Amino acid sequence: MRRAVLKFAALAVLTIAVAGCASGPTGPKFQEMGNVIPKLKPGNGRIYFFRAAGPFGASLQPGVRLDKLRVGTSKPGSFFFVDRPAGTYQAATTSDLRKTLEVPLADGETKYVRMSPSFGLAVGSIVLDLEAPEKARAEMGWLSYAGQFIGDK
């Protein structure tokens, strides 16, 4: 009986992981969007949020908030960006609003926030960390755009 339960649990985990991979983002890749992403307006900075593709935590896709305003969703294999006036912002995911990342943003500056799955004893969450621009851009090349279409307002 116990062996059957373990087999069922393993099959359920595998099914969720495969389903999460199959429903990945389908937008254009970061490397293809160079001419489409608008230039920053004076007084603004840009924050890119990105998450690598992977089967672990694929079904965990919480909303992402910046100063309590929802700005996107953490999806494996994707990125999105928001432009904001220079200032300091608090980023968090809806899976754990108590864990915040402070993002200081200067006029004309671009910051990169990595979103990574993390697993606790009972539930998983998405951890937000600032990433070095060179490393972030290198990893983002093949990620798909999962934000609002650039022309939409």
Q: Are strands 78-85 and 144-145 parallel, antiparallel or unpaired?
A: parallel
Domain ranges of the chain: 2-145
pTM equals 0.80
pLDDT at 65: 96
Per-residue buried b or exposed e for 10-34, using 16+ beta carbons within 10 Å of the residue's own CB: eeeeeeebeebeeeebebeebeebe
Q: pLDDT tens-digit profile of 108-133?
A: 999 999 999 987 666 788 999 999 99
Mean pLDDT of all residues belonging to the chain: 83
